[in-house]
């Protein structure tokens, strides 16, 4: 049988108007949405109105989905490299040819390195059962998600302390009295449901303390803003805990029953007074005391959101952990106004989706990054991606021959693209499965175009929450080009590797039926509203039901996992030295209209994208002769020099400069993004293998850059 036939085209060719339930694919948040289709064409996109938390809302990126669909500047057939890597020489290939080519190279890899020499990384999230199953079916332990440059440290800190991920902690915004955010720029780096809930909570009077070296739009909404020194949040948290304990402003019953290691905590914070932290963070001791007095009267409705920006420097595992500990001290777990713990179906007496990964036996080989073995605090479910590239480069602890980037663009997402490419050069196969030309795709050997989120269906996903739900991304329209859905691509590679049993399905409906087995939910139920709630209303667990999945069953300040890893529970704060003269700490973030590197080539989002400017404090700009609007040059120590205009403002800490991420693309076929702005990741020179030892997250916010006024002003010709 020819394997090239496109699946599921029949499902979408029906005439007339209809609504298809899907999930937005314009960023990794994946909001539930409704797609209006007329005669096989999408006419309207909006949020899924069956989900009250989102209603009809989408963000600007979501609304630009039609422009993305209409864009021809994306891979239209499989492509095989025909010149040196990165040279941009490609030949079009049929699916059979491209897949055979990949399978041949994978077989070579297995021969040289064993199955463990094949690795895959993806964007993680709801649908990752598929990619995990694929890697497991190949016999490799080396599945990675993107988390070393995102929330990995927060995730690992929560795992080491609570025994579950921070993703299971859902703030009860409707009743929260005080929300504390560490660089969590809720209103710009947004998730539609969350920003709506936040704005509603603020208008009913919720207090918000926002901590950031930069005044983002969230700072403007907050009721208190602390412009801290970059990477100093750990000092702040140690002092907050000191003051909370000293003033006995914590929930003694909760702590007594659920927290282990309070003696360790008391010892670690005995000298970290409000005055001590002032020199490190810049937050006046008096303001810190006022804050603690305020929350003493608000708890347990006080939520310390560990965010993501606590996750990008060498002590950020401990920032996240102390933020999580502060929540425990507030006693705010599973109480109104605090964090509601995400429930699994079994909590409501229901059965969850059947995992595809169960179809394949466990892989006995250890992971190449040592996650879960030599590094007990690194969750093997997410891995430490930089260590994959370290192994590709050195052959230690074992060699890696083939790498698949699925829905992931590490050349943009990991720091120091030059160093990464040096490691990639050692691989004998690099495959990118993407919907557009990513920087990684451009440096790969084969590009496989996945059908876009509107042109394909995904496996079903199960999301924990106060009420767990099953969600669906159904196919709305036929693919415009010669693309395929991921489940089909993975199945066809497995078929060629003699491992098809894992994904032996002919249609997506067959997969859905398999997943839904025994749940009492049918494919028709899923198609009715795109979302099935597993209970009518949320039920708060009682304290007797509260469980932590640590060895002691408690919240472990004296974490058994950390002890096993030989890590100190609460090490002393290590301040960074303040850069002076023309040196600055480089900070970064996102605008509401762009998702990482994937949006700037979208015609509508390119138009809406703000000009990328370098935020710099007047006291530091002035001695360098830099005035607002001047062109400046930024260098991170490598050969790459960025050129952009200065935004001279006191709303950035004097030690830091700030720029938006998602600019500076180099792929010639994506003409609208090409050469626009500066790639912050390319300025993060030498940071590929610099990471937090406890959580494995890359130390992105410890980058020092040099800034000078450009000799040549104005736009280069």
Ligand X SMILES: Nc1nc2c(c(=O)[nH]1)N[C@H]1C(S)=C(S)[C@@H](COP(=O)(O)OP(=O)(O)OC[C@H]3O[C@@H](n4cnc5c(=O)[nH]c(N)nc54)[C@H](O)[C@@H]3O)O[C@H]1N2
Decide which of Mo ion, ligand SF4, ligand X, none touches 135; Cβ closer than 5 to 8 Å per partner kind: none
Q: How many CB atoms lie within 10 A of CB 518?
A: 10
Are 632 and 710 a contacting pair, CB within 8 Å?
yes
Distance (Å, rounded) from C-alpha 703 to C-alpha 683?
8
Nearest to 588 by CA among 415, 714, 421: 415
- Both tokens of 4, joined, read 């090239």
Distance (Å, rounded) from C-alpha 16 to C-alpha 112?
54
- Both tokens of 584, joined, read 């600055």
CB of 677 to ligand SF4, least distance (A): 20
Element of type H or E holding 479: none
- What does DSSP say about strands 656-660 and 583-589: parallel, antiparallel, or unpaired? parallel
Decide which of Mo ion, ligand SF4, ligand X, none touches 408; Cβ closer than 5 to 8 Å per partner kind: ligand X
Does 105 bind ligand X (CB under 6 A)? Our answer is no
Nearest to 135 by CA among 502, 443, 631, 476: 502
* Residue ranges in contact with ligand SF4 by CB under 6 A: 24, 26-27, 29-31, 58-59, 61-62, 190-192
Nearest to 415 by CA among 701, 700, 691: 700
Footprint of ligand X on residues 221-260 (CB under 6 A)?
228, 230-231, 233
Does 51 bind ligand X (CB under 6 A)? Our answer is no
Decide which of Mo ion, ligand SF4, ligand X, none touches 192; Cβ closer than 5 to 8 Å per partner kind: ligand SF4
Write the CA distances from 109 to 61, 203, 399, 684, integer angstroms. Answer: 39, 58, 10, 31
CB of 413 to Mo ion, least distance (A): 9
CB of 150 to Mo ion, least distance (A): 3
- Both tokens of 113, joined, read 């390195």
Nearest to 339 by CA among 349, 329, 354: 329
Element of type H or E holding 531: strand 531-533
**Quick one: which segment of 22-30, 292-300, 350-358, 570-578 binds ligand X (CB under 6 A)?**
22-30
Q: Which is nearer to ligand X, 145 or 519 (CB)?
A: 145
Name which position in 131, 150, 330, 446 contacts ligand X (CB under 6 A): 150
Q: CA-based angle 56:62:64, to the nearest 5? A: 120
Does 596 bind ligand X (CB under 6 A)? Our answer is yes
CB of 65 to ligand X, least distance (A): 11
CB of 266 to ligand X, least distance (A): 25
**Quick one: which segment of 146-154, 372-380, 475-483, 654-662 binds Mo ion (CB under 5 A)?**
146-154
Footprint of ligand X on residues 171-210 (CB under 6 A)?
182-185, 189-191
Does 613 bind ligand X (CB under 6 A)? Our answer is no
Q: How many CB atoms lie within 10 A of CB 104?
A: 12
Does 311 bind Mo ion (CB under 5 A)? Our answer is no
Q: Which is nearer to ligand X, 292 or 705 (CB)?
A: 705
Element of type H or E holding 669: none
Q: Which is nearer to ligand SF4, 48 or 161 (CB)?
A: 48
Q: Which is nearer to ligand X, 354 or 456 (CB)?
A: 456
Position closest to ligand X via CB: 183
- What does DSSP say about strands 207-211 and 224-226: parallel, antiparallel, or unpaired? parallel
Nearest to 571 by CA among 309, 314, 310: 314
CA 398 to chain centroid: 28
Q: Which is nearer to ligand SF4, 29 or 652 (CB)?
A: 29
Name which position in 314, 407, 484, 554 contacts ligand X (CB under 6 A): 407
Q: Which is nearer to Mo ion, 185 or 559 (CB)?
A: 185
Nearest to 697 by CA among 711, 707, 705, 687: 687
CB of 470 to ligand X, least distance (A): 20
Q: Which is nearer to Mo ion, 185 or 277 (CB)?
A: 185
Name which position in 254, 588, 631, 691 contacts ligand X (CB under 6 A): 588
Would you give the binding string for Mo ion spanning residues 416-435, x where CB under 5 A is met? --------------------
DSSP 145-180: ESGGGTTHHHHHHHHHHTSS-GGGEEE-TTT-SEEE
Decide which of ligand SF4, Mo ion, ligand X, none touches 301; Cβ closer than 5 to 8 Å per partner kind: none
**Quick one: which segment of 49-57, 238-246, 302-310, 328-336 binds ligand X (CB under 6 A)?**
302-310
**Quick one: which segment of 147-155, 397-405, 555-563, 575-583 binds Mo ion (CB under 5 A)?**
147-155
CB of 59 to ligand SF4, least distance (A): 3
Q: Which is nearer to ligand X, 163 or 591 (CB)?
A: 591
Decide which of Mo ion, ligand SF4, ligand X, none touches 661; Cβ closer than 5 to 8 Å per partner kind: ligand X
Distance (Å, rounded) from C-alpha 300 to C-alpha 276?
27
Q: How many residues bind Mo ion (CB under 5 A)?
A: 1
Decide which of ligand X, ligand SF4, Mo ion, none touches 314; Cβ closer than 5 to 8 Å per partner kind: none
Q: Which is nearer to ligand X, 312 or 343 (CB)?
A: 312
Does 150 bind Mo ion (CB under 5 A)? Our answer is yes
- Both tokens of 468, joined, read 């767990």
Are 357 and 515 a contacting pair, CB within 8 Å?
no
Decide which of ligand SF4, ligand X, Mo ion, none touches 31; Cβ closer than 5 to 8 Å per partner kind: ligand SF4
For 206, the 3-state DSSP assignment is coil
The strands making up 118-122's β-sheet, listed across from edge to edge, are 90-92, 79-81, 446-449, 429-434, 402-406, 118-122, 143-145
Are 147 and 546 a contacting pair, CB within 8 Å?
no
Decide which of Mo ion, ligand SF4, ligand X, none touches 24; Cβ closer than 5 to 8 Å per partner kind: ligand SF4
Footprint of ligand X on residues 304-323 (CB under 6 A)?
307-309
Distance (Å, rounded) from C-alpha 25 to C-alpha 484?
16
CA 690 to chain centroid: 19
Distance (Å, rounded) from C-alpha 448 to C-alpha 479?
14
Decide which of ligand X, Mo ion, ligand SF4, none touches 30; Cβ closer than 5 to 8 Å per partner kind: ligand SF4
In the chain, DSSP finds a helix count (H) and a strand count (E) of: 24, 27
Give the largest CA-CA distance in the chain.
Answer: 75
CB of 702 to ligand SF4, least distance (A): 28
Positions in the binding site for Mo ion (CB under 5 A): 150
Positions in the binding site for ligand X (CB under 6 A): 25, 27-28, 123, 146, 149-150, 182-185, 189-191, 211-214, 216, 228, 230-231, 233, 307-309, 406-409, 412-413, 415, 433-436, 438, 450, 453, 587-590, 592, 594-598, 658, 661, 680-681, 684, 700-701
């Amino acid at each position: 049988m020819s394997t090239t036939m496109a699946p599921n085209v029949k499902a979408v060719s029906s005439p007339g108007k209809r609504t298809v339930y899907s999930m937005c694919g314009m960023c990794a948040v994946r909001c539930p949405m409704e797609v209006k289709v007329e005669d096989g064409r999408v006419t309207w996109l909006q949020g899924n109105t069956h989900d009250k938390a989102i209603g009809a809302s989408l963000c600007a990126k979501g609304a630009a989905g039609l422009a993305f669909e209409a864009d021809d500047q994306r891979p239209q057939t499989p492509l095989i490299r025909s010149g040196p890597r990165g040279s941009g020489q490609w030949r079009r290939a049929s699916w059979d040819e491209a897949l055979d080519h990949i399978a041949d190279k994978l077989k070579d890899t297995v021969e040289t390195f064993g199955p463990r020499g094949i690795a895959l990384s993806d964007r993680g999230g709801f649908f990752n059962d598929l990619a995990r199953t694929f890697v497991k079916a190949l016999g490799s332990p080396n599945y990675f998600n993107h988390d070393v440059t995102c929330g990995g440290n927060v995730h690992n800190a929560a795992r080491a302390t609570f025994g579950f991920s921070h993703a299971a902690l859902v703030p009860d915004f409707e009743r929260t009295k005080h929300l504390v955010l560490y660089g969590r720029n809720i209103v710009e780096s947004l998730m539609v449901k969350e920003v709506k809930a936040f704005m509603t909570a603020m208008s009913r009077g919720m207090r918000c303390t926002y901590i950031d070296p930069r005044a983002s739009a969230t700072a403007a909404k907050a009721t208190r803003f602390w412009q801290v020194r970059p990477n100093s949040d750990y000092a702040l948290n140690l002092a907050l805990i000191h003051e909370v304990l000293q003033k006995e402003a914590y929930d003694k019953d909760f702590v007594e029953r659920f927290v282990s290691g309070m003696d360790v905590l008391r010892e670690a914070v005995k000298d970290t007074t409000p005055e001590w932290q002032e020199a490190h963070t810049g937050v006046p001791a008096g303001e810190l005391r006022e804050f603690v007095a305020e929350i003493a009267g608000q708890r347990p409705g006080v939520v310390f959101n560990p965010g993501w920006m606590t996750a990008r420097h060498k002590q950020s595992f401990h920032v996240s952990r102390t933020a999580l500990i502060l929540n425990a001290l507030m006693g705010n777990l599973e109480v109104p106004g605090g964090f509601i713990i995400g429930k699994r179906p079994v909590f409501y007496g229901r059965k969850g989706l059947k995992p595809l990964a169960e179809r394949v036996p466990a892989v006995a080989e250890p992971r190449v990054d040592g996650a879960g073995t030599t590094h007990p605090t690194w969750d093997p479910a997410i891995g430490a991606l930089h260590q994959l590239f370290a192994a590709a480069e050195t052959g230690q602890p074992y060699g890696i021959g083939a790498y698949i980037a699925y829905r992931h663009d590490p050349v943009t997402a990991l720091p120091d693209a030059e160093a990464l490419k040096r490691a990639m050069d050692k691989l004998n196969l690099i495959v990118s499965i993407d919907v557009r030309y990513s920087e990684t795709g451009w440096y790969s050997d084969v590009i496989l175009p996945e059908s876009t989120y509107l042109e394909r269906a995904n496996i079903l996903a199960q999301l924990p929450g106060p009420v767990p739900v099953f969600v669906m991304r159904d196919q709305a329209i036929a693919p415009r080009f010669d693309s395929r859905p991921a489940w089909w691509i993975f199945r066809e590679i497995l078929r060629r590797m003699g491992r098809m049993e894992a994904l032996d399905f002919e249609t997506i409906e067959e997969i859905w039926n398999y997943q839904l087995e025994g749940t009492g939910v049918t494919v028709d139920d899923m198609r009715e509203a795109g979302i099935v709630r597993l209970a009518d209303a949320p039920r708060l667990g009682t304290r007797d039901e509260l469980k932590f999945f640590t060895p002691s069953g408690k919240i472990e300040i004296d974490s058994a996992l950390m002890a096993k890893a030989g890590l100190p529970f609460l090490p002393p704060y290590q301040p960074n030295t303040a850069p002076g003269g023309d040196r600055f700490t480089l900070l970064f973030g996102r605008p509401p209209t762009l998702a990482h590197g994937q949006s700037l080539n979208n015609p509508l989002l390119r138009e809406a994208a703000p000009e990328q400017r370098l935020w710099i404090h007047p006291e530091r700009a002035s001695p360098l002769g830099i005035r607002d609007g001047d062109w400046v040059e930024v260098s991170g120590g490598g050969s790459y020099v960025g050129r952009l205009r200065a935004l001279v403002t006191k709303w950035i800490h004097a030690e830091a400069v700030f720029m938006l991420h998602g600019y500076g693309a180099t792929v010639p076929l994506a003409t609208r993004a090409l050469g626009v702005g500066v790639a912050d990741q390319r300025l993060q020179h030498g940071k590929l293998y610099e990471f937090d030892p406890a959580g494995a997250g890359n130390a992105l916010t410890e980058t020092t850059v040099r800034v000078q006024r450009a000799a040549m002003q104005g736009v280069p010709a």
